[in-house]
A and B are shown apart, each in its own frame.
Chain A
Amino acid sequence: MTTQVATEEKNYLQEGHTLASWLLTKDHKRIAVLYLISVSFFFLVGSIAAMMVRLELTSPRGVLMSNETYNKAFTAHGAVMIFFFLLVAIPAVFGNFLIPIMIGARDLAFPRLNLLSWYFYMAGGTMFLIAMMSGGVDAGWTFYTPLSSIYSNGQITLALVAAFVSGFSSIFTGVNFIATIHKMRAPGMTWWRLPLYVWSHYAASLIIILGTPVVAITLLLVVFERVAKIGIFSPELGGDPVLFQHMFWFYSHPAVYIMVLPGMAVISEVMACFSRNKVFGYKFVALSSLGIAALGFIVWGHHMFVSSQSMYQGIVFSFTSFLVAVPSAIKVFNWSLTMYKGSVWLASPMIYALGFIGLFTVGGLTGLYLASTGTDVHVTATYFVVAHFHYVMVGGTLLAFLAALHFWWPKMFGVLYPEAIAKWNALLVFIGFNLTFLPQFVVGYLGMPRRYHYYYFAPEFQVYHVMSTLGASALAISLITPAFYLTYSLFKGPKAPPNPWAAKGLEWEACASPPIKHNFHGVPVVVGDVYDYDAEAEERALRGLPPKETH
């Protein structure tokens, strides 16, 4: 592939400057930018709620807020982060922007549906904000019945409808990605030449269309139970609240893979580029994404070991949960082996990606402690679980989001950011994160329950909580800093060349920075394999050695 990019041509950012040209756009890249702005906003909202939670826990007596306010704070944190950041961020921003470009298409299959999905997302988000401000929601992001259907007085109905509406936004994105990946690939872009990025997003989209409808209708049934007093989960009517948990987790365990598979997508690209190597075992990594999607649907019962599930169910779900760790482990090993005999370059996206691998591994391994019924009975509903899922969701998805943001920023906006600050910042994220969540494993193991606003019964826990809050403050600083230097780079940053990382892939090699409206001139034709990096040549060049002799 050759790069011929006429610099005078208008890029997608210059195609119209009015507000309407953004709000009514059908260009997948502009919709990605709209999503980037909105998910950043919701991330800020979720983070403020998190800081409230952390501040409250610095004292064993819970002096800052009442128990009810605290419930509202952690519900706001969990629900906003999950429904309006983690499930959306990578697919809707980077998936939207990159999938069409990576497969050599001009746009997604259904551009109007894509725009509609953003409006559904915003409608859901707005409803949730209104619910938070007009009374709050205190049932936790899991909305267990009968608390959510009968006992809680907050704005649960509105919050449930908000989650329902944003679920549709997810479904639209999933349908769009599936149709696009099946039918819009450029000539020569066979399934086995697809970047692993696309494979992972494909697997996540399958989970979205299979799982999201289930939770949507389940939440709707809770709404009916609240509003019309009909009930399928109501024990008074002979219904079973545990059925709600089954249907909720049938979606919400796979949903953790909706969050982390797109993150894994990013890591595959970043590891290949900054190791200057083919991803080790391409087919295994590709198929392990589908394996995760499939196995992810048969493990939900591990959230219900203590919810009156039968012992035999417990055994089966424990076993399947161990199985699901296998494809994740395949990925971790293969990424690590990608660096082997590579030419590793510690640029900021790579630091985030390495952080991902380490933290995700800790998260996954502690998942196995939770998946063994014996240990889970001891640590369930404690801070051990909280630490586990933050290692996978923050250490995994958020770090991947930051890696993607730094890796593709020059492509999206055509500017370079100050790399030195970015590197130090990446390190600070890693340190702040561990300082926040490592103590939570310990304090959870010692018995600190989750969702409590005090712990006067065990004042010795305070030191762990204070450490955690300090770490959270460091983390907060390191998450605000990129907002500053990235925004600065938009106005003052040097112009980026089409391929600043000398990376492989259609988005770097055949596309301007920022891309033009239809991404390519004509239709790219793909020959040869994906990730055809040559680590040895790069190393020789770096060391001033002559090129390798070919016999």
Chain B
Amino acid sequence: MAISLNKMNQPQDVVYEQFEDLAQQQETYVIGMWAFLVTEVMFFGVMFMSYVVYRWKYQPYFYALHQELDWRIGGINTFILLLSSFSVALAVHFHQKKKKMQTLACLGFTNLCALAFLVIKMLFEYIPKWNHGHYPGPGFTWDNPNIPGNIAQLWYSLYFGTTGLHGLHVLIGIILFSVLMFMIAVDHPAITDYLPTEMLGLYWHFVDIVWIFLYPLYYLMPK
């Protein structure tokens, strides 16, 4: 039992009926994944574009508003995501080598980081903001006389919209990683090679890259 934990108990590589051979199948999956990531870039592109437009229009207010966020918390979260990206790359490496324990460990660590990211975001950012009434909508409360309330609300709409969409992607990542770990752990017949790990890895790197852009734009805004 201890030994079988270290070896991937994989069946012979499975080629689905529409493909000629394994190489074609794997290349096709990777192209499909990249095409999907292009759509993701365009999704986030809308949020970034809106940010650019309004920052252009209200630069002094946006500068004042960025002080609402604590760059240290964002920084810790950035570090956590970078770690998770590293460990997911390791997971792909170990899966290629068919090392089950190591793959699972790396995926587990990635998931832990993802979870930590969300918990930190919730506890230190979303919930305190919410308690101060700083959420966009009819209940929005604002008492800083130097910044007009409606601009503040617009800024919060962008902030919650963009980081919320990103957080949703992190959450989806956690769910997918958990499913993948379970399937690897029980030697599920659908996991025929390392490709699922690689594709999820691509997804995860994308989620991280989005944050790498979000962090400086919202937390480290220059004057």
Binding site for B on A (CB under 8 A): 105-111, 171, 174-176, 178-180, 182-184, 209-214, 216-218, 221, 224, 228-232, 236-240, 243, 247, 518, 523
Nearest to A233 among chain B residues (CB) is B50
Contacts of A217 in B (CB 8 A): 43, 46-47, 165
The answer for the CA separation of A469 and B58 in the assembled complex, in Å, is: 51
Nearest to A518 among chain B residues (CB) is B17
* A247 & B46 in contact (Cβ 8 Å cutoff): yes
A108-B40 CB under 8 A given contacts A176-B32, A232-B154, A239-B154? no
* A238 & B150 in contact (Cβ 8 Å cutoff): yes
Contacts of B49 in A (CB 8 A): 247
* A110 & B32 in contact (Cβ 8 Å cutoff): yes
Contacts of B54 in A (CB 8 A): 232, 238-239
Q: Which of B31, B36, B57 contacts A183 (CB 8 A)?
A: B31
Nearest to A244 among chain B residues (CB) is B50
Give B37-68 interface residues, CB cut-off 8 Å to A: 38-40, 42-43, 45-47, 49-50, 53-54, 57-58
* B137 & A228 in contact (Cβ 8 Å cutoff): yes
* A243 & B42 in contact (Cβ 8 Å cutoff): no
Contacts of A224 in B (CB 8 A): 161
Determine, out of B1-9, B20-28, B106-114, the stretch whose residues face the partner at the interface. B20-28
Of listed B17, B42, B49, B154, residue having the most chain A CB within 10 A: B42
Q: Is B158 an interface residue (CB 8 A)?
A: yes
A175-B39 CB under 8 A given contacts A183-B27, A230-B137? yes
Report the minimum CB–CB distance from A455 to chain B (whole Å).
38
* B137 & A210 in contact (Cβ 8 Å cutoff): no
Nearest to B153 among chain A residues (CB) is A237
Contacts of A216 in B (CB 8 A): 43
Of listed A175, A209, A224, A237, residue having the most chain B CB within 10 A: A237
Query: Could you tell me the dominant secondary structure of chain A's interface residues?
Result: helix
Q: When each residue 148-176 of chain B gets 1 if its CB lies under 8 Å from chain A and 0 otherwise, what string results?
A: 10110110011011000100000000000
Binding site for A on B (CB under 8 A): 17-20, 24, 27-29, 31-32, 35-36, 38-40, 42-43, 45-47, 49-50, 53-54, 57-58, 136-138, 148, 150-151, 153-154, 157-158, 160-161, 165
A214-B46 CB under 8 A given contacts A179-B35, A231-B136? yes
Report the minimum CB–CB distance from A213 to chain B (whole Å).
4
* B31 & A178 in contact (Cβ 8 Å cutoff): yes
* B157 & A106 in contact (Cβ 8 Å cutoff): no
* B24 & A211 in contact (Cβ 8 Å cutoff): no
The answer for the CA separation of A176 and B58 in the assembled complex, in Å, is: 42
* B31 & A238 in contact (Cβ 8 Å cutoff): no
* A221 & B161 in contact (Cβ 8 Å cutoff): yes
A175-B36 CB under 8 A given contacts A217-B46, A239-B154? yes
* B39 & A213 in contact (Cβ 8 Å cutoff): yes
Contacts of A210 in B (CB 8 A): 38-39, 42
Contacts of B24 in A (CB 8 A): 183-184
* A229 & B35 in contact (Cβ 8 Å cutoff): no
Report the minimum CB–CB distance from A296 to chain B (whole Å).
15
A237-B157 CB under 8 A given contacts A213-B39, A229-B137? yes
The answer for the CA separation of A221 and B43 in the assembled complex, in Å, is: 12
The answer for the CA separation of A361 and B108 in the assembled complex, in Å, is: 60
Nearest to B41 among chain A residues (CB) is A213
The answer for the CA separation of A354 and B138 in the assembled complex, in Å, is: 57
The answer for the CA separation of A419 and B182 in the assembled complex, in Å, is: 59
A184-B28 CB under 8 A given contacts A217-B47, A238-B150? yes
* A238 & B154 in contact (Cβ 8 Å cutoff): yes
* B42 & A211 in contact (Cβ 8 Å cutoff): yes
Q: Which of A178, A211, A232 contacts B157 (CB 8 A)?
A: A232
Report the minimum CB–CB distance from B129 to chain A (whole Å).
14
Contacts of A107 in B (CB 8 A): 17-18
The answer for the CA separation of A218 and B50 in the assembled complex, in Å, is: 10
Q: Which of A178, A230, A232 contacts B35 (CB 8 A)?
A: A178
Contacts of B137 in A (CB 8 A): 228-230
Contacts of B157 in A (CB 8 A): 230-232, 237
The answer for the CA separation of A230 and B39 in the assembled complex, in Å, is: 25
The answer for the CA separation of A110 and B30 in the assembled complex, in Å, is: 12
The answer for the CA separation of A183 and B32 in the assembled complex, in Å, is: 10
The answer for the CA separation of A218 and B28 in the assembled complex, in Å, is: 30
Of listed A110, A211, A217, residue having the most chain B CB within 10 A: A217
* A237 & B150 in contact (Cβ 8 Å cutoff): yes
Nearest to A231 among chain B residues (CB) is B157
Q: 4 smallest A-B Cβ distances: which pairs?
A: A230-B136, A107-B18, A213-B42, A179-B32
Of listed B24, B47, B153, B158, residue having the most chain A CB within 10 A: B153
Report the minimum CB–CB distance from B126 to chain A (whole Å).
14
Report the minimum CB–CB distance from A406 to chain B (whole Å).
29
Q: Which of A109, A209, A228, A230 contacts B18 (CB 8 A)?
A: A109
* B40 & A213 in contact (Cβ 8 Å cutoff): yes
Question: Could you list some 21 contacts between A and B, CB below 8 A?
Answer: A109-B18, A109-B32, A111-B18, A175-B39, A179-B29, A183-B27, A183-B31, A184-B28, A209-B38, A213-B40, A214-B43, A217-B46, A229-B136, A230-B161, A231-B136, A232-B50, A237-B153, A238-B57, A238-B58, A239-B54, A240-B53
The answer for the CA separation of A218 and B49 in the assembled complex, in Å, is: 11
* A238 & B151 in contact (Cβ 8 Å cutoff): yes
Report the minimum CB–CB distance from A339 to chain B (whole Å).
37
Report the minimum CB–CB distance from B74 to chain A (whole Å).
22
* B31 & A182 in contact (Cβ 8 Å cutoff): yes
Nearest to A171 among chain B residues (CB) is B39
* B35 & A174 in contact (Cβ 8 Å cutoff): yes
The answer for the CA separation of A279 and B31 in the assembled complex, in Å, is: 30
Of listed A107, A108, A183, residue having the most chain B CB within 10 A: A183
* B136 & A228 in contact (Cβ 8 Å cutoff): yes
Report the minimum CB–CB distance from B144 to chain A (whole Å).
15
Contacts of A106 in B (CB 8 A): 17-18
Report the minimum CB–CB distance from B190 to chain A (whole Å).
12
Report the minimum CB–CB distance from B22 to chain A (whole Å).
13
